A and B are shown apart, each in its own frame.
Chain A
Amino acid sequence: MENKRIERIDRGIKVRTEGIYSIVSMREMMYIAGPRIIFLGILFLLPLILEAAPYWKRVMNIMFIYSLLAISFDFLANYTGLVCLGGAFFIGIGGYATAILNSVLHIPVLLSIPLAAIIGAVVCTLLLLPCLQLRGVYFAIITLMFPLLFTRVIEATNILGGTNGITGLESIPGHFTENYYIMIVALIALFGLRRFVNLDAGLVMRGVKDNEQSIRASGINVTWMKTQAVFISSLIGCFGGAYLAHLYVWAGLSLFALDFSIIPIAAVAIGGGGTIFGAIAGSFILVPLSEFLRFFGSFRIVLYCIILTAFIVFKSEGIMTYITRKYHQFERWVDV
């Protein structure tokens, strides 16, 4: 054992399908497109399958909301170097924004959600703007403080319905609309961001994470790049929040709950950071797991923590990283 190590070699088909050559044969095209087609196929069938279990359809919706939050976290943390614990902040602002738009101004729900996402993103970005100079844990703490701050302000001043929240939000018409609406947005966020990070502009954002000084020396405004990244991220998060408010038909203080900040991070840790895809995979595991564990009553959190720890200890690279590696490479033991 001592004198052996694992050698990893790219599969022939991986090498053959790099770049333009991927279109030479059906088999090679399937190698690239296959996993995506299967993934999309299962997703689109899911609402139909779960028709038999309406409760789990709702869980699925929540799952996509957490996916959006996890994607938004993964993008900011692993591509621009801003560790943002603002999930609850985004959800809250997005939720309250749509509550005002829909319940007070009577804008129809399907329009009110994206509109609230944009308005919410502008608000979040403006509020985070003074903190963009901060790095690492300092930025994280600030983003964690904002939801607490808003909760206290709303409690104390009784604005926006105070502790009762804003009621009378329209629910999303039709179960399938409800399911596919959030699913499609999550998929757009997933594939859109995966594409974006490989564009030249996305590369610059990765450069911001690596070192800001060189970015400045190239004549690029670092704060402006970060502002754009935070906007994209909060847009995704606020959309989730606005959608959630309509799922509850209510916008209240519980939208600022810490779960929305913490669980997405766990999801990214499990799924594999820096892949965007991992964010979704992690949420698909964590959210149903958490529902499933309800059977165990108050023991739930303990089991949840054990499973979470096990994932992080035994598969610390993240599920997506692991699967991608197994898919593209084979391994063997060789003598050193």
Chain B
Amino acid sequence: MSILTVDGISKTFKGLKALISVSFDVKEGEIYGIIGPNGSGKTTLINCITGFVKYDSGNVFFKGKNISKWPPHKIARAGVTRTFQIMRPYYSLPAYKNLIIPLWAPRARKLGGWRGGGKHGDRNTVAVDILEELGFERDSRVPYKPASALPTGYLKRLELARCIAMRPEIILCDEIFSGLSVSEIAGLMPLIEKLKIEGITLIMVEHRLKELFQVADRVMALAFGEKIAEGKSYEVIEDSRVKEAYLGSEEV
């Protein structure tokens, strides 16, 4: 069953066609990858789906409901949330306090949030629990450090933690692997699998094809705002247009 349907989204920035009638369908519980060279419109696509950018035409359906004109907070409340490519933690707050905010958010208070922690129990404890699940060492000082003092690897996890704290149905991840070392990515992999087991649908925008292909069920390729291929990862990578789009611009 498809949980999210994107139907012909187009977006123009002052004459620059960032997205040209992009359509796709994501099934419940799958990991859907979106690849494409720099500037191909991947981030813009996420911005459109989550309501951060108003698009010119097209529709987005979440569980059959048209969420096209909804403001971002309403879309998030319904269960579609996102990470940011440029990480946006609450820098002045300690890492675990960053999670109090999604745990306090209406969705978590109503539906329980991650493992019911938003509704029951002490939010501070639940926040540290979530961080521990995401690989912050509980007994170390890391969860209590201000977010501004954390290295990139932890910030990426914090981005994910902020999303899962509200127990969304779909997380759109904007390049969570970029800027990480190979071993850090290897550390994130089990986490991705775990989210899948929890039944959370993931849409992963990625630059790092090899790592993405390990986890993604299906992949779509964008180039200059247009969808050029879709299918199993090995099919997409063999597609001549995808090869052409990446040739010279990126290593595959």
Taking a contact as CB atoms closer than 8 A, the residue among A213, A217, A219 that contacts B106 in the complex is A219
How does the 8 Å CB contact mask read for B110-136 relative to A, with 1 for contact and 0 for none?
000000000000010000000000000
Q: What total of A-B pairs shows CB separation below 8 Å?
A: 81
Shortest Cβ distance from B86 into A: residue = A213
Tell me if B102 counts as interface (CB < 8 A to partner A): yes
| Separation of A214 and B93 alpha carbons in the complex (Å) | 13
Taking a contact as CB atoms closer than 8 A, the residue among B82, B93, B103 that contacts A217 in the complex is B82
Could you tell me if A216 and B73 are in contact, using CB atoms closer than 8 angstroms?
yes
B97, B101, B103, most chain A CB atoms within 10 A: B101
Could you tell me if A206 and B90 are in contact, using CB atoms closer than 8 angstroms?
yes
A201, A203, A209, A222, most chain B CB atoms within 10 A: A203
Could you tell me if A216 and B76 are in contact, using CB atoms closer than 8 angstroms?
yes
Given the contacts A200-B100, A220-B73, A213 and B88 also touching, CB distance less than 8 Å: yes
Tell me if A221 counts as interface (CB < 8 A to partner B): yes
Given the contacts A203-B97, A207-B93, A214 and B162 also touching, CB distance less than 8 Å: yes
By the criterion of a CB under 8 Å from any partner CB, how many residues of chain A are at the interface? Answer: 19
Shortest Cβ distance from B172 into A: residue = A217
Shortest Cβ distance from B92 into A: residue = A210
Given the contacts A203-B97, A210-B93, A222 and B73 also touching, CB distance less than 8 Å: yes
Closest chain B CB from A222 CB (angstroms): 7
Tell me if B84 counts as interface (CB < 8 A to partner A): yes
| Separation of A200 and B125 alpha carbons in the complex (Å) | 13
Closest chain B CB from A68 CB (angstroms): 25
Q: Which of B41-90 contact A (CB under 8 A)?
A: 50, 52, 71-74, 76-78, 81-82, 84, 88-90
| Separation of A216 and B75 alpha carbons in the complex (Å) | 9
Residues in A whose Cβ lies below 8 Å from that of B101: 203-204, 207, 214-215, 218, 220
Residues in B whose Cβ lies below 8 Å from that of A222: 73
| Separation of A219 and B165 alpha carbons in the complex (Å) | 12
Tell me if A158 counts as interface (CB < 8 A to partner B): no
Closest chain A CB from B79 CB (angstroms): 9
Taking a contact as CB atoms closer than 8 A, the residue among B52, B73, B88, B107 that contacts A211 in the complex is B88
B contact residues vs A (CB 8 Å cutoff): 50, 52, 71-74, 76-78, 81-82, 84, 88-93, 97, 100-107, 123, 162-163, 166
Ranked 5 nearest A-B pairs via Cβ: A219-B76, A219-B77, A210-B90, A218-B102, A216-B72
